[in-house]
Every structure is written in C-alpha cells, then in structure tokens.
Chains A and B, each alone.
Chain A
C-alpha cells in the first residue's frame, strides 16, 4: 500500500469494501475512494493504514474517520490526527460507539485549530512531565487528568487532550506548563479560601462576575508566580506577547497594581470585583483556563471534613505510639499537639509539637497538615486534639480491602480493582484501562495432598534435594589470587622456589574468600483455566510442591500466582504464595486448593506480575509460566491472533523491565506459537502431563545455573 505510485480509486474501493465489510454494512465507499485516490501517496497510505486499523475496532468509526480526515489533512498535523483518532477509539472502549462517533464528528472540540498544521502538545505526551513538575512545586499532592477544559477542582488539574494555540510544539508545551502552574497557584495561593459561590451569587449576571473575578485572580496569581517562579513568569509574558494579547484597559491596570502586592489575597480580588463589575471584561489570557467555584466547593466540603477526621485519628495514633516508646507511667497527661510554621514564607513547612517538644510527623500527617493549611490558611486548634477512642466510626478512615467477589453482587463497578491496558494488535495501540484485574486468595484446602505428593515422589525429592543442595551457593575459597585476605602458603612456597630458580615469580600469592550471592527472584504464573481440569491440575499442583521443596533449599526468593478470568472485566490473579511469605502450612493448603477456573487471558497477568517482580530487589528476575495452551478468553475476541499478540507484547514489556520470561507448557502445539511469544529458546514443551512434576524443578535448575 505504501508504494510510490498512488493507488487508483478502483484499488482503494476494493480495500475499503473488504475492511468496512460493505457487503453487510452497505456503506457508500465509491465517493470516498475517489477522494482518497486524489491524495498524494503519502497521505493516502496514512489514511488507509489508520482506516484499516480502526476498522478492527469499529467499522462505523473507521468510515466516519476516513470521510472527515481527508479535509483535515490540510489543517492538521498528522500526529494530531492520529491523537484525535486514538482518542476516539479510547472513547469507544469506554463509552461505546455513539460517543466515539461524537468525538469524530466534533473534531473542532478536540483541537482549537488556530494554525494550519499546528504542532500541538498532546496531553499524553506532556502529562508525565507536568505531573512531576507540579508535584515538585509543593503543596497538596495534585493529580493531572485529561478533561474538556483547563480547570481544577482543587484536587485534580484538568488539561484538554490537545493544546495547539501556538505554532511550535515547544511553545505549546510551555503554554501547558503555564496553565498547570496557574491552576496550581489557585490551590497554593488560596483562591478558594473564600466562599466564592456565595460571593458571586450577589451579582445579577453571575457568569460575568465569575469571568471578571477569574481575570482579577489571574492578575493576583501572576504576581505570585512572578515572585515564586520568576523564570516561568518571564516565559508566560513571552507567550502573551507572542499571541499578541491586548494590554489591560486603564482601570484594570489600577486593579493589577493593587493585586500585585505580596499580601494581596482572594478577599482583595472580591473587593475589586465590585468596582470592576459595571465595566467590560477584558479578554482572558491564554493560560487562564476556567474557574469553577462550584466544583471546588463540592470537593472542599468533603475534603475538609475528612481531613479533619483523618488528622485527629492519626494524631491519636501518633500519641499512642510515642507513649509506648517512653517509659510507662511517666506521663499520663493528655497529649497536647501544636503546630508552628518553620519559616515565614506562608504555606511553608509545618513543625508538629507534642507537649512542647517538636516531633517529626509521619509523611501522611505532614501531607494532611499541608492540605488543611492550604484550605484554611492555618490549622485550627480543634483539629489538633487527638481523636478519642470511638469518636469516629473506624470504617470511615480505615482502608478496607474490598472483597473481590462482592462487586459481582448488585451492579457492576470497577472499584478497588487495578486496571491494565491491553495491546490491540489490529489497532497497533493499547486499549487503555481495559482489563479489570483483582487479586484474590486461593481457598486453602487442608488435606494430605502435600504429604501424599512428597511420598509419591520420595525418590525424586531425594534426588532434587541432592542436586539443589549442590547448587546452593556456598562460600568458596579462591586460591592463588593477586589480592586477598590471607597468604596462600602453597603458592608462596612455589613462587619462592621459582625465584631461587631464576624464573619469574608469580604475584598470585593470596587466598580470597568469595561469597557468590545467588540473587534470584522468581515468579511462577500458573494457568488456572478451566482446561486444566483433571490431571493437568493435579500435575501442576504436584509440580508446585516439588518446586517449593527444592526452592526452599536454594533460598531463592519466589512467589506463585494463579491466573484465570472471564472477559476483560473479570481478570483474576490468585495469590498462592507472595514473595514475603514463608513456605508454610497456609501456602501448602493453598497449593492443594488450586482449582480450575475459567479462561486463559494472559496479558494482564504478565503485566501485573511484572509489576510485582519489579518491586523485588534481585540481580536476576524470572517469570515462569506453567500453562496448558494458547491465550484464550470468552467472547471478546481474545482467542487467536489478538490474544497471542497481546501476550507477546506483555512479555516484551516484561523483558524491557529486566525480567526473563520462560514458559513451560504441556500443549504439544506450543511449538507453533511459543517461539513468537517467548522467543526461540525461552520455552519447553512437555509431551506428557505425567512428567510435568518430574521436569519442572529440573528445568528451573538448568535455567538458573
């Protein structure tokens, strides 16, 4: 398709007919094909490629996209078109076709196209950097999300999918940065410390009042940023003049002078609003965004209540902890907390004082203090009395792990689950937040399975014990070293004899104690799909018992998780043994309790276990899959190429994180797809299920020596 010569309309029509399934959808593609045929080959290839990729997700979206995109090529950067389409497909994933088509049809909302071929700053590209940027600035731990406008609710900052007001990508990034800084300034310099909703309700035209107040606040906050971040301030001035923004009218200049005072606050802005209201509203400046007092008020009321409670509870815990550390009976008086600002720069560090002695507050308490201080401008005394026992209902402040099964009773929701992306091979993009993953415990079964297995394989256990013991990393005394702890007398005698002899004397005269550390962490990912029912399941469980027995000898850190699921909404990982858990009766009972569940969706499992593995510190990390077949799932197209490609992609991600994946399978057809997924040398096919227990430990031994 990417040939140099453009395709003819007839050729294109044929492609479109196939991809868009015209036979069933009856879409009119002749005109579209003719339009596409008129494009230069490069643009043609770009649009056709994306149409094909989109068609694997939704034919309607693909069709509408190609119809609209032909005209857009003239105005929009290709990167931007791509972002727009990917955004549409994300919308499709989350809200369905109707919403996705809306995104396609309302392209103007997606990007303000004030420049031809503008190189916009995409939210996805800048979000990572800007989030770190804003976290560095101090204050509350803010979140950054994509929204339909630039505003904040005082906990999350929202930026649009694309900012493309400037011509250059770098300028657009700087504009985003200025927007984020302005939103941060609203939380940092107390824009919400007054009841804005009430203040605005006094004006007949509330919208106008809001616009004006926001403009005034922007003036005040600009001055704050000028003092706090002069470099950014200069950049903001440059952006404004590059966009040719009009200077303020004279009366507003006077307001600006008042608001530039270091002690100006939101109260001053509100006071000046009364003067400004009768006049016209100056044009908002480019990084101003929107002010949404109602959303802020809503967040603030719940936050203030919650943080008051949390702080008081945490202080009570802190007082209790400190009391236990000091001698008992020494001080039975009530703990008395106080705070003092360390430095005179407002919003600065707070020092927590307990009974006249400064103490270092735990991180969580420190953050609470900062957050409360930002909301209220100080810490009211009643916040500092430790909560009495039973004063608050513990369920309000304790993070309770939700029962993973409870979500299935009543309506479905994704609360408490971890979301993982999935690689859509047709789209060549991730489906974001696609898999809803939960960790569950295996129901332990306390029977004689483990001891029976040990008995059944007693010969093998003995053999494994011997081989694994030999592998155990013991201190070795390395002789004839150039440096070491002790003199190697044998080497010395030889060397002296050599010297007498007239030959060259060796300098390898020392012995060095060498402690080679076997620094390995291994994750076993066990297939618990329904197809393992019967003796595969038995063989898996037996293998795990033998493995654990052997690994205990070696001292390698290991964890075992089972995976299964039904559709992307129910991806489940079963904890059998965590890394920090010893091999005890509970683990044995869980191994015994492994039962076949549903389907074999693998991508999410690899991604989650990769995450767990990266949290472990070890020189080598292994992810070993025990499976009985191809990736597969019920109904949503995971079977076949899609699943294999997603699994392969997840494994590539794991490798990038420094993990060696390996697969042990009993699927005799495994040779057809495993090399593609795991790589040529990273899998073993075991022909007979019976042999699985005999082989697994041995394979592990070979892998790690």
Chain B
C-alpha cells in the first residue's frame, strides 16, 4: 500500500480492528456517546486502550483524531494558532478544533502528560456546555452533535505531579482497563502475533511473572502489546528466549540485575 496524506478529520478506521471486549466497555462507550458524555480510559500502558478507541471509531463510523500528549503540549497545540502565509496571518485549526467542527472522536492519549493549561480548554467541552472557547479568535465553537471526547490516563504512575485533578476527572465517564484474563490474553496474543496456542500461553505466563515483580523493582510488568511484539518475533523464527529478551525484558527495564533476573525467568519457562 502506498502511503498517503490525510486530513485529520478524514481519518476513518476502515478495517475492523481486532478487539476482544473484556467487559461491558463497548455498551458503556456507546451509551456515553449517545448522551454526549466524555470518556476517561484508565489503565496501565499497552493493555488495549488505544486499540479500543480505534475499534469504537470503526464501530460508530466516526473519524478518529488521536493526540499523544507530552509535557510541552499547550492549549494552542490543541485549539489552533495563527501562522504566517505570504505576509499575512492565517488561522489554522488544531486537532481538537477540527474534531469539534467535524464531529469526530478526539482521543487525548496520556492526558496528564500535557501542561496544566490544556486541561482548562477541555473543561467546557467536557460538560454539558460542549463549547470550545477559542480565545485568540475571540469566539466560542459549539460542538458538532457527533463530537465526542475521550482521554486516557495511567493511574499506575505514582507521581504527585502527574495526577489528574478532581475538577477534571469528575467530568468524565470512566472506563477501567486492565490486562485481560490469562485465557483471553493468550487468545489475543495468538491472534495478533500468529503464534500457536501453547506459545501464547507461555508468553502470557511470562507476562504474569513480570507483573508479579511490579513494586519489587519494576515499575510496570510486561504489557499485552509487548507480548504481541515478542510473539511476532517468535513467529518470524527468533528463538523464544531471545525474543523475550529483545521485545520484553529490554523494554521494561534498564537495570542490569533486573534484566538478568527477568532473563532467568524466561529461560526457565521456554
């Protein structure tokens, strides 16, 4: 397939993304969308939050605009700014504004990473006003009826600096994500990485071992995403122990002793 450039609001998920529901999250999301309620996805990294958003965008046939938040992301990056074209200033919409106009789903990934002032912009959008104040234009943009806002947040980072304020979190319908149950996770790994069932089982078992270490030296255990990576390497002919080292162990820690220990776990398992 050739690569092509798209306007953000024209990005529709065309092919059904593979998603296994773990609970009633699909029904809740649909009900929230129907009632114009914004959604907060909570959960550790790599457990399927982004995939869920793609799936819902496909299911509801709405364009999906994803913004990965980082610590330099400002309100202007979301709302828009003036640029200079041929000696004149022109206004260019930011991704959030585009979504509000087009009735897309705007997904702000890892919202706590963004600067504090960005939160203020989404507040009026996230309650029943559904307005986007565009300070620099001096106008208020009313949201398209199909517009919906979703943000994600990882409560696992125990940093006081990266906590979501009550005034923000109390505007959202929250969906909690966690790693899927072992059987379901094995099914996901088998399907996504095209490995056989017993290999997928072992990978999941390995993931559980690393998750046991959360709090005793590891910040997070291996996510489902990492398992899929390792599975893909194995399917491509890499030996399981090497695949786990490259795709999982090295990804979750830099600490030499922890790496050795994790490596011992995987070599015991395969």
Using CB atoms and an 8 Å cutoff, list the residues of chain A in contact with chain B. 128-133, 135-138, 141, 177, 181, 229-232, 235, 342-343, 345, 348-349, 363, 484-487, 492, 496, 499, 509, 513, 515, 617
Given contacts A129-B260, A617-B161, contact A135 B268 (CB under 8 A): no
Q: Which of B82, B160, B269 contacts A231 (CB 8 A)?
A: B269
Q: Is the CB of A230 within 8 A of B160?
A: no
- B11 interfacial contact with A, CB 8 Å: no
Nearest chain A residue, comparing its CB with the CB of B182: A343
Residues of A within 8 A of B260 (CB): 129
Task: Please tell me if the beta carbons of B74 and A135 are within 8 angstroms of each other in the complex.
Answer: no
Q: Taking the complex as formed, is B209 at the interface, i.e. its CB lies under 8 A from any CB of chain A? A: yes
Are B183 and A343 in contact (CB-based, < 8 A)?
A: yes
**Minimum Cβ distance to chain A for residue B105 (Å):** 25
Mark each residue of chain B from 155 to 183: 1 if its CB lies under 8 Å from any CB of chain A, else 0. 00001110000000000000000000111
Q: Measured between alpha carbons, how far is A136 from B215 in the docked complex, in Å? A: 11
Complex alpha-carbon distance, A231 and B215, angstroms: 26
C-alpha gap A137/B212 in the complex (Å): 7
**Given known A129-B264, A229-B269, A496-B87, contact A513–B74 (CB-CB < 8 A):** yes
The residues of B with any CB-CB pair to A shorter than 8 Å are 74-76, 81-84, 87, 89, 115, 136, 159-161, 181-183, 208-210, 212-213, 215-217, 241, 257-258, 260-262, 264-270
Closest CB-CB distance, A235 to chain B, in whole Å?
8
What is the CA–CA distance of A499 and B88 in the complex, to the nearest angstrom? 13
Q: Are A617 and B212 in contact (CB under 8 A)?
A: no
What are 26 A-B residue pairs whose CB atoms fall within 8 Å in the complex? A129-B260, A129-B261, A130-B264, A132-B213, A132-B217, A132-B262, A133-B265, A133-B268, A135-B213, A135-B216, A136-B210, A136-B213, A138-B212, A229-B269, A231-B266, A231-B267, A342-B182, A485-B81, A486-B76, A486-B81, A487-B83, A487-B84, A492-B84, A496-B87, A617-B159, A617-B160
Contacts of B75 in A (CB 8 A): 485
Task: Across the interface, name the chain A residue whose C-beta is closest to B206.
Answer: A136
**Contacting residues, chain A, for B268 (C-beta < 8 A):** 133, 177, 181, 229, 231-232, 235
On whether the beta carbons of B81 and A132 are closer than 8 Å, the reply is no
A132-B213, A133-B261 are contacts. A230–B82 as well, Cβ < 8 Å?
Answer: no
Which chain B positions have C-beta within 8 A of A345? Answer: 182
3 nearest A-B residue pairs (beta carbon): A132-B261, A232-B268, A485-B76
Tell me which of B74, B161, B183, B265 contacts A136 (CB under 8 A).
B265
A132-B257, A231-B241, A487-B84 given; A177·B182 CB < 8 A? no
Contact B265 A137 (CB under 8 A): yes
A138 to B221 Cα, complex, angstroms = 13
B183: which A residues are within 8 A, CB to CB?
A: 343
Additional 9 contacts, C-beta under 8 A, given A133-B264, A137-B212, A343-B181: A128-B257, A129-B260, A129-B261, A130-B264, A132-B217, A235-B267, A342-B181, A486-B82, A496-B87
Q: Note all chain A residues with C-beta closer than 8 A to B83.
A: 487
Give the docked Cα–Cα distance between A345 and B83 (Å). Answer: 61
Instruction: Report whether B84 and A509 are in contact in the complex, using a CB–CB cutoff of 8 Å.
Output: yes
Q: Which of A136, A138, A485 contacts B262 (CB 8 A)?
A: A136
The reply to whether A487 and B270 contact each other, CB–CB distance below 8 Å, is no
* A487 and B262 within 8 A (CB): no
Interface centre among A128, A129, A235, A342 (most CB of B within 10 A): A129
A594 vs B209: C-alpha distance in the bound complex, in angstroms? Answer: 49
Contact of A137 among B81, B209, B257, B258 (CB under 8 A): B209
